[in-house]
């Protein structure tokens, strides 16, 4: 794996700092949602960094990026213009009108079947 440049390291530090402390810059009522959105943005950045180093798991990276984009988009949208969300329901699913999580779980199962196909599992190697 290639080494990160000084600029990359500074950006990584900024992403981490924003993710963990940026939520405190907004209104208290939005702190939880802001933290959630910043977490999704941080994961998207990290996925982009990893993507630069490997294309082997492209389908997994694309799935995960899609999931995080949903989190970031729905959270920011909800913060700007809230809608009703039932107890235990995901924000994006409430807006979409169907369970997006079920679609995500199906995609995970399909990816697991694809990447685990032919995988040999052996016992402890001592």
Domain that holds residue 99: 6-116
Sign of CA pseudo-dihedral 72, 74, 77, 81? negative
Lowest mean pLDDT segment, chosen from 49-53, 69-73, 102-106: 49-53
Inside any domain, residue 101: yes
How confident is the model over 72-89, as a mean pLDDT?
94
State how many domains the chain has.
Answer: 1
The pTM assigned to this predicted structure is 0.73
Assign 112 a pLDDT band (cuts: 50, 70, 90).
confident
Assign 118 a pLDDT band (cuts: 50, 70, 90).
confident
Does 1 have pLDDT greater than 70? Answer: no
How far the first Cα of the chain sits from its last, in Å, is 29
- At 18-47, the pLDDT tens digits run 988 888 888 889 889 999 999 999 999 888
Inside any domain, residue 121: no
Among the listed residues 50, 29, 26, 48, the one whose alpha carbon sits nearest the alpha carbon of residue 38:
26
Inside any domain, residue 47: yes
Inside any domain, residue 49: yes
CA–CA distances in Å: residue 112 to residues 68, 105, 107: 19, 10, 8
Sign of CA pseudo-dihedral 82, 77, 37, 68? positive
């Amino acid at each position: 794996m290639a080494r990160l440049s000084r600029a990359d390291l500074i950006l990584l530090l900024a992403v981490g700092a924003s993710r963990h402390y940026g939520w405190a810059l907004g209104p208290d009522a939005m702190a939880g949602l802001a933290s959630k959105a910043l977490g999704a943005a941080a994961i998207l950045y990290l996925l982009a960094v990893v993507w630069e180093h490997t294309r082997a798991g492209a389908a997994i990276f694309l799935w995960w990026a899609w999931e995080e984009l949903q989190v970031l988009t729905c959270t920011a949208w909800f913060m700007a213009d809230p809608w009703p969300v039932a107890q235990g329901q995901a924000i994006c699913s409430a807006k979409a009108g169907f369970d997006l999580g079920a679609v995500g779980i199906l995609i995970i199962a399909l990816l697991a079947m694809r990447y685990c196909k032919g995988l040999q599992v052996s016992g402890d190697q001592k």
